[in-house]
Structure 1
Amino acid sequence: MDLKRQLEQKTAQLAALREIGRAINAAWDLKDTLELITRKTAEVMGMDSCSIYLLDPDGEHLVLEATTGLAPEAVGRARLRLGEGLTGWAAQQGEPVGVADAARDPRFKYLPETRETRFQSLLAVPLINQGRVIGAMNVQTRAYHEFGAEEVELLSLIGDLAAGALEKAMLYERMQRQIAELSTLAEVSRTITSPLYLDQMLGLIVDMAARVMRAKVCSLMLLDETENVLILRATQGLSPAYRDRPPLKVGEGIAGRVAETGEPIVVADVRTDPRYRYPEVAREVGLCSLLCVPLRVRDRTIGVFNCYTGEPHTFTPQEIGLFQTLANQTALAIENARLVVNTAVVREMHHRVKNNLQTVAMLLRLQMTEGDLDPRQALQESINRVLSIAAVHEVLSEKGFRLVDLRRVLRQVVQTVVQNRPHPDKDIQVKVDGDEIALPSRSATALALAVNELVQNSLKHAFVGRETGCIEVSLHRRPSGYEVVVADDGVGLPPGAPPPRSLGLQIVETLVTQDLGGELRFEYGPQGTRAVITVEEVA
């Protein structure tokens, strides 16, 4: 009878081993392999828990990597020194150990994060592949249980099968990780040399870094040297609570400390670390472990790079080295982008100054042809023209060389003309209204000069013999362009009178027809004058 029962047990063990072997051979992914081994082992051995600890890269600690019965949040966090606890002892000695009342064994080590107090008996075996210990696995029961020789032998056989499968899965994972790292570094290198704007480039880099680091989120903060604060410049789609955090002073918090010292900092859990400034945001967003490294160029820190995980994680030296390499590449990309932008800005400024100086020279040459002109009046008109050009550049300097708000520029031009009008004692109202129109600097400069001349002309000639009046500058969008009208309610011209020909009006005609490619027409009448500038296509 005993022989029959032993035969049945061996048959069941062989069937279990075949099942585990088939399942193991079908798995490649390390996480899937770990979960499969622990689940199948607990099933076939009838145990309440099965756990696998793997040796870390330094060979000093066993880290819990998979379990069916311990607290899930302990995975990746629970650690035993090699030789510590019953499981550590089995790994160090290379021998199985089974204890019915584990907590009473002097070798037992309780890990609070695993919540294993509900288990009483424990059997642990080493995981050895080709003579090298790679970890250990154990099974536990809630009830008191004395492990028999057959159970020790079965778990040892499973351990031998598991060690080979885990080594294969770890090798495959390392290979995949190296491919991903090399691909990411190549992508970063391509991004550095691509013609992207800085914010676009940083957005791509944080996305790639999150993929290769298997992070919940990566974020990048740049140093504002004038304010000595770190400003968030790129991150993935996190909640406004994370994105809208105020700038962080250098030296404050974890990122501020990294910016100050130029040294990486690793945090096990930002939700509980007193150095982290926003634990409530971390809890809301679901952030846990943090790796923060400096962005450095030529021994100068220009920002920090953050890598957050959603679960507790111990960053390995390899991960820290990889992330620092990404940070170094990114810092170089930022520096290159800034140099390119600065070079482009200098070229653009040089080009615009040259064009505007040529315009000023042209206006002065035209003025030289005017006879019998009061020198003081001539100088004042030239000053107004130069100030009209300056108004365009004032708006450009605030907008970072983007399109110019024409309405705003013309309001500044009109204000300057009114302040320097030839008859300051008269009550002449000048206003600018109409549609918002955005133009390139060259077109805006031409229109600013043209309106300057038209308003000056009205102030000088439209209100002879009158003490009050109104000049209105209006802007109108058209389906294929825009229209600018300068209208006054002055004395106008009698019917049949020829239109005046002054230097100012010649300048307006030249600017409209040649610089803008538009059309200029005047509407004269006893109720005032309208000058209409029409441009069919936005320049």
Structure 2
Amino acid sequence: MEPTQTEFLLRLADTLNTTLDLQTLLQRTASLVRAVIDYRIFAILLINDRTNDMRMRFQIGHTPEVERMRIRLGHGVVGQVALTRQPMLINDVSQVENYINANPDVRSELAVPLIIKNRVIGVIDIQSEQLDYFQPEHLRLLTLTASRIAQAIENARLYTRVSRQAQTLEVLNEISREFTSILDVDALLERISQLLRRIIDYQMFSIWIVDADEHVLENRFALRFGERFYPEEKLPVQRGLVGAAIAERRPIHVPDVRRDPRYYKINEETRSAMVVPLIYKSKVVGVLDIEHTRAHYFTEEHERALTTLAAQIAISIENAQLYQRVAQQEQRLEHDMEMEREV
């Protein structure tokens, strides 16, 4: 093994052993690869087993539009590499059938699968604006890199999942401590939005309360990009994704609302949505709706976390509303007694 290659592998091993943060791991890997392959365009794409496609988890040199692309297995160079589990060194991309021409300046490409325990988890992809840029030595180095970082990526993802579960439990504990003492409905809903943001980085958030007398949903609290906004329209309980969540009494997870006719457009920018019914003593008292501008943003982990939180949120809302009703009745009673004394 050449000295340069040995040094590279030693530095790579040091990188893999010193971090469990996925983004840090990918960023350091990109820097190490650049030291031996002078690229301008680089990406690490990871497979979403649920949707059977890939998206970039780290990139250099791509446009935001390309970064947001989701690539089906078998499509384009990286999709073909993931499907066949074989690397591809392409001297001239114009000669490749099924090539995705996301960047018209690209002329050559090198892509290597990330495989762990006989399972493909993603692809490392490097592109060049020169014909015949990549050499067999580049392929060997990138293949060595892929064989070593695949396990590190899986470890980092597992660490992320465990960390998120711990965050969810922490938020649940805070909810148990705080929510029983917050008896103002508006203050309660604002606190719910703050705590939920710690485990799910949503962009739109709203809580709709069921008005059983009028058979409508009334918005009690909503945020858009961190700012309060006030939807005035009341929704029939059967309309949209919120209506579906009420009718089916289960979470409704829509990866791309443009493809779901049930979505009732309140936020033009929304691409993905998750709606969870709030159920108290077998009765749906409301729904919690979170949305994002990126399609396929929410995950099964998000759904599990939101479902876990929903039961406690429903109890807290019902308690706050009950306190509010009792306080209003006491005020009316006090007002009536005051009127009687004046008479």
Is TM (by shorter chain) over 0.5?
Answer: yes
Structure 2 stretches of 5 or more lacking a match? none
- State how far apart, in whole Å, the 2-side matches of 1:32 and 1:309 are: 24
- State how far apart, in whole Å, the 2-side matches of 1:17 and 1:126 are: 18
1:239-274 superposed Cα distances (whole Å, 9 cap, x missing partner):
45x324432233334334434454543344568977
2:294 is aligned with 1:401: no
| Equivalent position amino acid for 2:189 in 1 | L
- State how far apart, in whole Å, the 1-side matches of 2:201 and 2:315 are: 23
**Structure 2 residue aligned with 1:50:** 42
How many angstroms does 1:29 deviate by? 1.8
- State how far apart, in whole Å, the 2-side matches of 1:256 and 1:35 are: 43
How many angstroms does 1:163 deviate by? 1.6
Higher relative contact order (CA 8 A, sep 6+): 2
Is the CA contact (8 Å cut-off) linking 2:71 and 2:79 kept in structure 1?
A: no
Q: Secondary structure at the match of 1:246?
A: coil
RMSD: 3.4
**Structure 2 residue aligned with 1:333:** 316
Is the CA contact (8 Å cut-off) linking 1:289 and 1:312 kept in structure 2?
A: yes
Is the CA contact (8 Å cut-off) linking 2:280 and 2:315 kept in structure 1?
A: yes
Question: If the length of structure 2 is used for normalisation, what is the TM-score?
Answer: 0.82
- State how far apart, in whole Å, the 2-side matches of 1:272 and 1:55 are: 22
| Equivalent position amino acid for 2:150 in 1 | A
Is the CA contact (8 Å cut-off) linking 2:221 and 2:230 kept in structure 1?
A: no
**Structure 1 residue aligned with 2:221:** 234
1:353-390 superposed Cα distances (whole Å, 9 cap, x missing partner):
xxxxxxxxxxxxxxxxxxxxxxxxxxxxxxxxxxxxxx
Is the CA contact (8 Å cut-off) linking 1:210 and 1:216 kept in structure 2?
A: no
| Equivalent position amino acid for 1:401 in 2 | E
1:171-202 superposed Cα distances (whole Å, 9 cap, x missing partner):
22112111011112222333454463333333
Q: Secondary structure at the match of 1:28?
A: coil
| Equivalent position amino acid for 1:233 in 2 | R
Question: If the length of structure 1 is used for normalisation, what is the TM-score?
Answer: 0.55
The percentage of counterpart residues that share the same residue type is 28
How many angstroms does 1:156 deviate by? 0.8
How many angstroms does 1:150 deviate by? 0.7
Q: How does 1:282-431 map to 2 (within 5 A)?
A: 282=269, 288-338=271-321, 345=326, 400-402=329-331
2:108 is aligned with 1:89: no
- State how far apart, in whole Å, the 1-side matches of 2:298 and 2:135 are: 39
**Structure 2 residue aligned with 1:100:** 91
**Structure 2 residue aligned with 1:41:** 33
Q: Secondary structure at the match of 2:276?
A: strand
Q: How does 1:515-534 map to 2 (within 5 A)?
A: none
1:320-373 superposed Cα distances (whole Å, 9 cap, x missing partner):
23222222332233344455666xx3xx8xxxxxxxxxxxxxxxxxxxxxxxxx
**Structure 1 residue aligned with 2:54:** 62
Change (3 A) 1:447 1:335: closer
2:164 is aligned with 1:164: no
2:21 maps to which of 29, 32, 36: 29
Change (3 A) 1:62 1:215: same
- State how far apart, in whole Å, the 2-side matches of 1:127 and 1:180 are: 29
**Structure 1 residue aligned with 2:198:** 211
| Equivalent position amino acid for 1:306 in 2 | D
| Equivalent position amino acid for 1:139 in 2 | I
Change (3 A) 1:20 1:144: same
Q: Secondary structure at the match of 2:28?
A: helix
Is the CA contact (8 Å cut-off) linking 1:293 and 1:305 kept in structure 2?
A: yes
2:184 maps to which of 197, 204, 216: 197
Is the CA contact (8 Å cut-off) linking 1:76 and 1:313 kept in structure 2?
A: no
Q: Secondary structure at the match of 1:213?
A: coil
- State how far apart, in whole Å, the 2-side matches of 1:232 and 1:166 are: 41
How many angstroms does 1:226 deviate by? 2.2
**Structure 1 residue aligned with 2:334:** 441
- State how far apart, in whole Å, the 2-side matches of 1:118 and 1:73 are: 15
- State how far apart, in whole Å, the 1-side matches of 2:255 and 2:87 are: 32
Higher CA-based Rg: 1
How many angstroms does 1:49 deviate by? 1.4
